[in-house]
Structure 1
Amino acid sequence: MNNDAKFIDISGVAQTFKTAKGVFPALRDINLQIAKGEFVALIGHSGCGKSTLLNLIAGLTTPTEGGLLCANKEIKGPGPERAMVFQNHSLLPWLSCFDNVYLGVERVFGKTEKKDQLKSRTAAALELVSLGHAAHKRPGEISGGMKQRVGIARALAMEPQVLLMDEPFGALDALTRARLQDELLEIVARTRSTVVMVTHDVDEAVLLSDKIVMMSNGPAATIGELLPVPLARPRNRVALADDPDYQRCRKAVIDFLYTRQGHVEKAA
């Protein structure tokens, strides 16, 4: 297999946690390959280990069993080639949008680039998410959607090979969410980043991804099914509404979640 076809290679991964009630098995027997430039959505009911798997790829936790590779290198901890975007934007409220992004840029490139170069990287990242006009504002002065875009800019400014997103639009209203989904499609098309995104939203998963990883219910969750999404890019949500492949993929995910895995929470 071409190395690009398994840019992220997860093999035999299991994850357990020690709790007051004993050992809790979060994940078992996770085997997954993600190609370079591929957009992968992780979906499943609450407690199925989606965020746990994302944290393993980020290097924030270490697997109990198995191993993870990125670009043929073992993932042993966090690294600048993997950037994380959380549901909570995690911005420092006393810093401007520019300074929040600059903080990450300086951490990654501060030893190899001059201050002017760091500032240029920061400005370019804010322009990429259409926030150049708000660079001087603090988080308390901008909307929730704009805060989340700053978080995305901060991640992109580090020029990561892999963009990891943990329900980045989950706390936003429907219209803002749709607008940021469309912007994300454009950004990924330009940067050609490899993306792994956790979501509860079926339509979001189908609209954005090349492959949907459907997780079984926890505890001891595993990959229940992999669904390729054969939709051409660029994608337009209005045009896709009546697309038979879109509808087929959407139905397959819903059938898995609410028929095979049981209706344990409100449908997305």
Structure 2
Amino acid sequence: MEKIIQERYVQLENIDMTFFTKKGTFEALKDVNISIREGEFISIIGHSGCGKSTVLNLIGGLLRPTQGNLFCAGREIAGPGPDRAIVFQNHSLLPWLTCAENVHLAVERVFGAKEGKAKLKQRTQDAITLVGLAHAADKRPNEISGGMKQRVGIARALAMEPKVLLLDEPFGALDALTRAHLQDELMGIMAQSGCTAVMVTHDVDEAVLLSDRIVMMTNGPAATVGEILEVDLERPRKRLQLAEDSRYNHLRSEVLKFLYERHARKAA
């Protein structure tokens, strides 16, 4: 039976987010509305302080909005849950555990009450294999590279079988070549998993390469959605071919134009 794609799989409706601090109130977001389709890859981009990570944390249930409604797969988002897994810029691996043990920890937490040890082990192995780290399963974090650590973080998130994968600048701390390699790998991983993904990034090329749509945020305070750009490039996408693709370069220019104009307004 053909899968019916939900057009409003993740829904942010009239979201306001105000932080109350000792120095007073800070209105981070104002009237944010975003609809994300099931299986879609969305990037959120904008200048520093535009509330990108705040949007991600709201979807993840780490924050509650001051006003508005949040939904995932038809249910209100009222807090963190295994249906929404987050991959941070810092991989946050436990140094005394192996790669496989770090992944297994998440698997056991989510599925341990209803599945036996053999099934849990298989889930762990499948996730490690999916990110191409079967050869490093028994290594500890200090024995692998930064890029491999980030792949373990992605494997740990996907092992939970989330409905939505949330990525907060997952490759921001990596060198350019490692970053490019992991971007290519992430495209393959997402194609296999079919997971819905929302990624925060500062990198225009990364956003255009990976995304189905790019949500471009206005400057803060009281940031909101400025524009949403449809990335109508065929998949699978090949980095070297896209470098000379006129449509790719047009989309890249549209994002840069938006960011440049926002920077000019902020400077003025």
**TM-score class, shorter:** over 0.9
2:217/2:225 contact within 8 Å kept: yes
Q: Aligned residue for 1:65? A: 67
Greater CA drift, 237-246 or 164-173? 237-246
Q: Aligned residue for 1:8? A: 10
Q: Aligned residue for 1:225? A: 227
Q: Aligned residue for 2:122? A: 120
1:216/1:261 contact within 8 Å kept: no
| Partners of 1:119 and 1:16 in 2: CA distance | 43
For structure 1, the residue ranges without an aligned partner over 5 or more in a row are none
Displacement after TM superposition at 1:217 (Å)? 0.6
| Partners of 1:191 and 1:97 in 2: CA distance | 20
Q: Aligned residue for 1:209? A: 211
| Partners of 2:195 and 2:256 in 1: CA distance | 27
Q: Which runs of 4+ in 1 moved over 6 A?
A: none
Displacement after TM superposition at 1:144 (Å)? 0.3
Equivalent of 1:44, from 27, 43, 46? 46
Q: Matches of residues 182-201 of structure 1 in structure 2 within 5 Å?
A: 182-201=184-203
2:42/2:198 contact within 8 Å kept: yes
Displacement after TM superposition at 1:261 (Å)? 3.6
* Percent of residue pairs identical: 64
Displacement after TM superposition at 1:263 (Å)? 8.3
How much is the aligned-residue C-alpha RMSD, in angstroms?
Answer: 1.3
SS, match of residue 69 in structure 1:
strand
Displacement after TM superposition at 1:3 (Å)? 7.1
| Partners of 1:52 and 1:216 in 2: CA distance | 13
| Partners of 1:156 and 1:109 in 2: CA distance | 13
Q: Aligned residue for 1:167? A: 169
Q: Structure 2-normalised TM-score?
A: 0.96
Equivalent of 2:158, from 156, 159, 166? 156
Q: Aligned residue for 1:137? A: 139
Q: Aligned AA for 1:108?
A: V
| Partners of 1:49 and 1:65 in 2: CA distance | 15
Q: Aligned residue for 1:100? A: 102
| Partners of 1:242 and 1:3 in 2: CA distance | 32
2:219/2:266 contact within 8 Å kept: no
Q: Aligned AA for 2:117?
A: K
SS, match of residue 31 in structure 2:
strand
Number of positions where the alignment pairs a residue of Structure 1 with one of Structure 2: 264
SS, match of residue 233 in structure 2:
coil
| Partners of 1:142 and 1:241 in 2: CA distance | 31
Q: Aligned AA for 2:200?
A: V
Q: Aligned AA for 2:224?
A: T
